Chain A
């Protein structure tokens, strides 16, 4: 993928997208063939060209944090963990294409990198996993990574898969009604794509041309159920045609491709042209959660094969091949990440548990009408 780096005019979106309008009924809504660009450029890109070295640094940090939290679970200190390993390029690449602190991010439980990208610190995140005071999303009332951070535009209300998809569409409806050019990106897994709420939400968003990016992180497993038992079609993105919106299939391990696809979808959303469905094909290297045992249902060779397209390795190779990264720098980046994670772990572990004095607070408001 190295040759496409920074080449936004002929990016992954161009290669992958085919709008519903373009595709014939006998063809899939997605294709890897080139199609005509339909969307006029209406907005400056958040960054002219994503700083790949910086993104690599952040991805290394996310991986180190993820590994640490998994270890904390194995040490009995973190009750539950859904690892983001293998999803990082999809998450970092998509956030990079959006307006932080303005656009709204309806995330799900595997979006560790999204949280980091939007401004949560490793300490705050680990506090969530060890349920300590100062956890910013729910005050450690909820499972880790759940709750909300309105200033950062983070909403992760529920553990019930797919319920957030219509809610994100509602957020987009609100933006449209208020005349804001805010985009709502809704992250979900391939498992969620089977839920009725996903269908209803996509249909509603397409009818009203709402500024939504449906971002499916397809890691090919809904806990233990493989894709072939989840859907009869080859791709989640192919469903977009049925709703009347573009469906874009993108290599979710290729951070540049994800950035390009998300940026184009955001432009379309911001300019009133409606929602898009991006299917980022990612990998899941660990069991569904720390409570799962994937050796029961997943052959180890399959995971080894998946690791050949580790997004972290792919980005590193890209940086080496363009002489943007050398071993000395790589060591430094790794060392920095370890230090940040070590310090965050210590701070979070040493924090007290939340006090129980507001146990009954925030059931309903204090000032009824």
Chain B
């Protein structure tokens, strides 16, 4: 085991897969000589050369579209979108095209590509460097959407994403990049896509979450220990496909579920998780399925007090947990 940051885990996963498989390559803006704006591909150009580390023009639709074409013809591209906020020009190529390759060709073609993007806020990124983008992709059959929270998960899931035979959207919360450190095995490992992970066991209330929010939820769980509330925390890790079994299992165990995500609430991941619980575990509930999620404003503002108002922290989570526990 070695202590790594999320960023190092992402870097190492790609590096190992590129060493293992010659069809894996990276493309994106500033990923070559610069090593990526966050340094996720630092040293790649030197190690793998410019044929496999392609600095692209500033043109996101073609980053996705060219990657998709290469993927349909035997390569395993990892396309980086510099910030999640710049991912919108790829929607046509990803939601409109990549997601439908397999279905629209009756399985004759498939697209083993990964579209990576740092996303999320709390980094003074304002409207255009803070957005959460997962719900838009998670709505789409044919895609897989991964939102890791720890270095261990990021590495194992990114390696699986690269080896997966379908398009995977891999969303790394940029605030976790250097903030979150954790143990990562030195030996080779992968993690299954679509499996949630119980990050904390408890008996009174379940928090279901993913990404950066996991860490705030774990902190909140410790805080409410003093109130004698025993919190279970389920990290979804993958938001499409959702791990329905794990969601129902923890619901049946605690009977009270709070869903926490940074993305805004309406029609978000929490809405789907809540509906799954209502449809399948209604009789186990001891309280309303609750959501603590981003506000219904277009995006995260810049000024510190405004950003703070947007972001969910452990205090807000602890308050929601207490309310639900008292129900």
Contact = CB atoms under 8 A, between A and B. Distances in A.
B is a partner of A: yes
A95 B66 CA distance: 23
Nearest to B192: A368
A177 interface: yes
B67 interface: yes
Tell me if A's interface is mostly helix, strand, loop or mixed: mixed
B69 A362 contact: no
A149 B141 CA distance: 23
A104 B96 contact: no
Contacts of A150: 108-109
B96 A160 contact: yes
Nearest to A169: B66
Given A174-B74, A201-B65, A158 B97 contact: yes
Interface string A300-323: 000000000000000000000000
A93 interface: no
Contact of A204 (B57, B101, B166): B57
26 contacts: A141-B103, A147-B106, A157-B105, A158-B96, A165-B65, A166-B64, A166-B68, A167-B72, A169-B69, A170-B65, A170-B66, A172-B69, A177-B25, A196-B89, A200-B62, A201-B62, A203-B57, A204-B62, A204-B66, A208-B54, A362-B105, A363-B103, A364-B166, A365-B102, A368-B160, A368-B192
Given A157-B104, A200-B61, A163 B69 contact: no
A98 B16 CA distance: 39
A35 to B, nearest CB: 29
B284 to A, nearest CB: 29
A160 B99 CA distance: 14
A208 B25 CA distance: 15
A163 B141 contact: no
Contact of A200 (B65, B75, B192): B65
Interface in B60-119: 61-62, 64-75, 77, 89, 92-93, 96-97, 100-110
Q: Interface size class for chain B?
A: 35 or more
Contact of B59 (A157, A165, A204): A204
Contacts of B73: 104, 170-171, 174-175
A147 B105 contact: yes
A170 B141 CA distance: 23
Given A137-B105, A365-B165, A167 B68 contact: yes
A146 B104 contact: yes
B13 interface: no
A166 B66 contact: yes
Contact of A147 (B72, B108, B194): B108
Contact of B61 (A166, A361, A367): A166
A271 to B, nearest CB: 18
Given A148-B109, A174-B69, A369-B193, A169 B104 contact: no
A361 B75 contact: no
Nearest to B73: A174
A137 B57 CA distance: 33
B105 A369 contact: no
A170 B57 contact: no
A61 B98 CA distance: 34
Nearest to B75: A174
A155 interface: yes
A146 B96 CA distance: 14
A203 B62 CA distance: 10
Contacts, number: 155
Contacts of A142: 104
B56 interface: yes
Contacts of A155: 72, 109
A227 B72 CA distance: 33
Contact of A163 (B67, B96, B160, B163): B96
**Those 7 A-B pairs whose CB atoms lie nearest each other, nearest first:** A170-B69, A166-B65, A200-B62, A369-B163, A167-B69, A174-B73, A362-B107
B65 A169 contact: yes
Given A170-B72, A171-B70, A367-B165, A197 B65 contact: yes
Given A173-B69, A174-B75, A200-B65, 16 more contacts: A141-B104, A141-B106, A157-B101, A163-B97, A166-B64, A167-B93, A169-B62, A170-B77, A197-B61, A197-B62, A200-B57, A203-B62, A208-B54, A364-B142, A369-B163, A369-B165
Nearest to A205: B66
B66 A201 contact: yes
B197 to A, nearest CB: 17
B190 interface: yes
Contact of A166 (B62, B105, B107, B142): B62
Contacts of A208: 54
Contacts of B141: 363
Contacts of B101: 157
Contacts of B165: 364-365, 367-369
Nearest to A208: B54
Interface string B194-224: 1000000000000000000000000000000
Contacts of B160: 368-369
Interface string B157-200: 00011011110000000000000000000000010111000000
Interface in B33-62: 51-52, 54, 56-57, 59, 61-62
A138 interface: yes
Interface string B114-136: 00000000000000000000000
B44 to A, nearest CB: 15
A178 interface: yes
- Which among B69, B93, B104 has the highest number of chain A CB atoms within 10 Å? B69
B105 A138 contact: yes
A204 B65 CA distance: 11
A173 B103 CA distance: 24
Interface string A183-209: 000000000000011001101100110
A139 interface: yes
